[in-house]
Structure 1
Amino acid sequence: MPMMFEGGVEPMEADDYMDQVETHLTSMDVTDDHSVTNQHKVEEMSWEMFKELFYEKYFSDTKKWELRKQFDDLIRGNMSVTEYENKFTSLSRVAPELVRNEVDKTRKFVSSLHYQIRPLITAQYFKVYAETVERALMLEAEAKDRNAGREQWKQKKNT
């Protein structure tokens, strides 16, 4: 069953769709040497040409620039570490030159963590992105536990 793309204004959905299609084609052993026929079988085109036309229509350079700016300006703020990591991973696809290796990716991730978590991660200087994310999640959970304990103590004190 071929995947359908309904269009829309969210360029990351277009990029996600293209990633899914490429994954399926790779699993079916369809390489760049094969050709992809358009839906109406009017003409055959190469996969690269299809991707170029697809991105031209659904993922303009302007949208890429806007998303790149979002990635440049990304800070955790009130997001949980999980939400931040998901957004970080999604937006990093439009700026691969900023996260070209594990160290760059880790530094960029850590630089926008919450001020209470960042020094604890920086002090240990993880070079592997997955380890850094895991440590940030653990620190966030510890901070929530501490805050919950403080709130319970305040409530007991006031009663």
Structure 2
Amino acid sequence: MVAEGWIRLLEAIFCYIELGDADRVRCMTFLLKDDAVLWFEGMEQTVDVATLTWEAFKTLFNEKYFTAEVRAQLKKEFMSLRQGDLTVSEYVRKFERGCHFVQLIGNDEAEKFQHFVTCLRPHFYRDMTMAEPVDYATVVRKALMSEQSLKEISAEAHSKRPFTHQGH
């Protein structure tokens, strides 16, 4: 995850400063540390770095640090993701991270919406089916509202409990 996050951060920076393809690769080689430096030095023996594109570098980097096995495990975790004891916010964060790895769902708004709703806790699922949200952004907003409402109901019920003295 660190490797994948590092690449995404670099891409955002490179886009912001409008860095060209060749400069992206040169900049990245300057930013490599520890084992990654050794990996890149070894890679220079088999790859012409002068003609290496950013996309080709990312492919090589991912093959080494963000392997197919890791991506397959993340997909598996996403497909079995359920809200369970997570708050709606925690569930949304994990869900959206998973959508990045399971693009079949992440890129299809209807699939994304359906997968999110069906994996909510039963009372949030019930609330969402009754609210009839039309898209993913709306269902997230309504699930967060439902959770907040549930917290308020619980707090109010707790505050109305009669006070009892122990020992009487």
TM-score (norm 1): 0.81
Counterparts of 1:149 and 1:107 in 2: how far apart (Å)? Answer: 32
Of the three residues 87, 92, 115, the one matched with 1:85 is: 92
Check the 8 A contact 1:99/1:108 in 2, yes or no. no
Tell me by how many angstroms 1:46 deviates: 0.9
Tell me by how many angstroms 1:59 deviates: 0.8
1:96 and 2:103 are equivalent in the alignment: yes
Of the three residues 107, 131, 136, the one matched with 1:124 is: 131
Tell me by how many angstroms 1:134 deviates: 0.9
Name 1:29's counterpart in structure 2: 18
Check the 8 A contact 1:68/1:94 in 2, yes or no. yes
Check the 8 A contact 2:95/2:116 in 1, yes or no. yes
Mean Cα deviation higher: 25-34 or 49-58:
25-34
Counterparts of 1:96 and 1:126 in 2: how far apart (Å)? Answer: 22
Of the three residues 41, 64, 81, the one matched with 2:71 is: 64
Identical positions, percent: 27
Mean Cα deviation higher: 116-125 or 70-79:
116-125
Tell me by how many angstroms 1:80 deviates: 0.5
Tell me by how many angstroms 1:105 deviates: 1.3
Question: Can you give the 5+ residue segments of structure 1 that lack an aligned partner in the other structure?
Answer: 1-11
Higher helix share: 2
Tell me by how many angstroms 1:158 deviates: 4.2
Report the residue type matching 1:121 in the other structure. Answer: M
Tell me by how many angstroms 1:27 deviates: 1.8
1:147 and 2:122 are equivalent in the alignment: no
Secondary structure of 1:116's counterpart equals: helix
Tell me by how many angstroms 1:32 deviates: 4.5
Aligned CA RMSD, in angstroms, stands at 2.2
Check the 8 A contact 1:81/1:140 in 2, yes or no. yes
Question: Can you give the 5+ residue segments of structure 2 that lack an aligned partner in the other structure?
Answer: 31-36
1:134 and 2:129 are equivalent in the alignment: no
Report the residue type matching 1:67 in the other structure. Answer: L
Check the 8 A contact 2:105/2:111 in 1, yes or no. yes
Check the 8 A contact 1:81/1:137 in 2, yes or no. yes
Name 1:3's counterpart in structure 2: none
Report the residue type matching 1:15 in the other structure. Answer: E
Check the 8 A contact 1:103/1:127 in 2, yes or no. no
- Between structure 1 and structure 2, the one with the greater Rg is 2
